Amino acid sequence: MKLITIAGPPSSGKTAVILKLIETLKMPLGSIGVVKFDCLTSFDNLSYEAAQVPVQMGFSGKTCPDHYFVSNIEDAVQWGIESGFKLLITESAGLCNRCSPYINSIASICVIDNLSGVNTPRKIGPMLKFADIVVVTKGDIVSQAEREVFAFNIKQVNLTARIIFINGITGQGTFMLAKYLKNTLEIDTIRDMRLRFTTPAAVCSYCTGETRIGEPHQRGMLKKMEFKK
């Protein structure tokens, strides 16, 4: 089975791109499965089910979805293999901009959209920086110039990634993405593989349920802001 991880900010077009990609791949029904990692809730299962794509949803709740991803990805792969998939795609919503769910030697795709502001690529961090492919959506509604500036800013952060423009509505551009993914690694487990980037230490008192505000309640790894006079 092959594994592809896809991450990106909410509503950047991940689901749209995945569905168009699946359409372009023209593989038999049931040979591609999706696992969606999200925070609180998601309606993506409806879209996948409508396209007859087997899907599993997982909600991280109190923890960061990328931490949640790492803790569950091995089981996800197991599920994929047991279900007889040829390809498993994970979709995860990048929310904290500090984590990224990418694994060494596993195809890693970041989806961002042109509407999010030209400087956004410079702010997203590891999710963009460590991707092999950056998919840019919603180019149909902004000017050519803005697309070019956007791509330039992506390149500033990730010099080596391929940038592919995809229209999530018409699927224009998915052809090149599919071509790219042809040589994705075949795996039968991902045990002992490594993340491309460390997820941050989440060990302060607020991680473990503290809700009271103020110095006396703060414990563990803390980072304090410095307010200049």
Partner 1 sequence: MMTASDFMTLLNNEDLSLVIERYPITLDFLANYRLSDIATDRLLLDALMGVEDEILEEFGFEPYDLLYNLAIFLKTFSETRTTIDGVTSITINGGINKLKQPENISLTISAGEVISVVGPTGSGKSRLLNDIECLAQRDTPTRRQIMINNRSLDDTQRFEMDGKLVAQLSQNMNFVMDLTVREFLEMHAKCRLSPNVNEVVETCFSCANDLAGEKFSDDTKVTQLSGGQSRALMIADTAFMSDSPIVLIDEIENAGIDRREAILLLAKREKIIFVSTHDPLLALNADKRIIIKNGGIDRIIETSTEERQSLVLIEKLDNQLLKLRNHLRSGDLITKELINL
Q: Residues for the chain: how many in total? A: 229
- Rounded to a whole number of angstroms, the minimum distance from the CB of residue 20 to ligand GDP is 9
What is the footprint of Mg ion within residues 4-43 (CB under 5 A)? 14-15
15 binds, among Zn ion, Mg ion, partner 1, none (CB under 5 to 8 A by kind): Mg ion
- Rounded to a whole number of angstroms, the minimum distance from the CB of residue 222 to ligand GDP is 32
Q: For Cα atoms 3, 92, 117, give the angle at the middle one, nearest 5 degrees.
A: 120
Interface pattern 143-182 for Zn ion (x via CB under 5 A): ----------------------------------------
Q: CB 157: neighbour CB atoms within 10 A?
A: 17
- Rounded to a whole number of angstroms, the minimum distance from the CB of residue 34 to Zn ion is 21
The string of DSSP codes covering 46-96 is HHHHHTT--EEEEE-TTS-HHHHHHHHHHHHHHHHHHTT-SEEEEEEE--S
- Rounded to a whole number of angstroms, the minimum distance from the CB of residue 224 to ligand GDP is 34
Task: Answer yes or no: are the C-beta atoms of 12 and 137 closer than 8 Å.
Answer: yes
175 binds, among ligand GDP, Zn ion, partner 1, none (CB under 5 to 8 A by kind): partner 1
SS3 3: strand
Task: Answer yes or no: are the C-beta atoms of 3 and 33 closer than 8 Å.
Answer: no
Beta bridge partners of 163: 134
Q: Which H or E run contains 6?
A: strand 2-8
220 binds, among partner 1, ligand GDP, Mg ion, none (CB under 5 to 8 A by kind): none
Residue 67 within binding range of partner 1, rule CB under 8 A: no
79 binds, among Zn ion, Mg ion, partner 1, none (CB under 5 to 8 A by kind): none
Tell me the C-alpha to C-alpha distance, in Å, between residue 144 and each of 55, 150, 165.
36, 10, 12
Counting residues that bind partner 1 (by CB under 8 A) gives 36
Q: Residue numbers of the site for partner 1 (CB under 8 A)?
A: 114-115, 117-118, 122, 126, 139-146, 148-149, 151-152, 155-157, 159, 162-165, 170, 172-173, 175-176, 179-180, 197-198, 223
Q: Residue numbers of the site for Mg ion (CB under 5 A)?
A: 14-15, 44
